[in-house]
Amino acid sequence: MAQGDKSKYTGKQRRKAEHIAEAYESRGVPAKEAEARAWATVNKDDGGGKKPGGSGRGRASDHPAVHRGGKVSASRAAEERSASARKAVATRKRNAEAGRHAS
């Protein structure tokens, strides 16, 4: 399949790429860049075209990029993260004193 040839992609993959590109464009990304990012995302999710001859044929499509969206990176309060870090330091120190390897 030549570079840029989308003949091995399914209709669902094309719609998905179109939807992703629209989302990028709505956030101010230039159209050409948005399209490139959209197809990169489809390839990352599906491993390529699913029709015969496509590199992703026969592989499961678990849509990993879809599942990442909307997650808050700091879901805990700063106090909780600090307390957790202090507890981890104490545990590593205690294990080191007991002669265990801290990894």
Question: The pTM is what?
Answer: 0.55
Q: Report the pLDDT value the prediction gives residue 58, as an integer from 0 to 100.
A: 66
Q: Report the pLDDT value the prediction gives residue 73, as an integer from 0 to 100.
A: 57
Q: Is 72 helix (H, G, I), strand (E, B) or coil?
A: coil
**Residue ranges per structural domain of the chain:** 7-49, 76-103
> Do 8 and 49 contact (CB within 8 A), yes or no?
yes
For residue 99, the 8-state DSSP code is: T
Q: Report the pLDDT value the prediction gives residue 23, as an integer from 0 to 100.
A: 94
Q: Report the pLDDT value the prediction gives residue 52, as an integer from 0 to 100.
A: 77
The pLDDT averaged over each successive group of 10 residues in the chain (103 residues) is 75 92 94 93 83 68 66 73 93 87 55
Q: Look at the alpha carbons of 34, 40, 46, 50 in this order and tell me if their dihedral is positive or negative.
A: positive
Closest of 2, 6, 59 to residue 35, by C-alpha? 6
Share of the chain above pLDDT 90, in %: 38
Q: Report the pLDDT value the prediction gives residue 1, as an integer from 0 to 100.
A: 47
> Do 36 and 30 contact (CB within 8 A), yes or no?
no
> Do 47 and 64 contact (CB within 8 A), yes or no?
no
Q: Report the pLDDT value the prediction gives residue 25, as an integer from 0 to 100.
A: 95
Q: Look at the alpha carbons of 89, 91, 97, 102 in this order and tell me if their dihedral is positive or negative.
A: negative
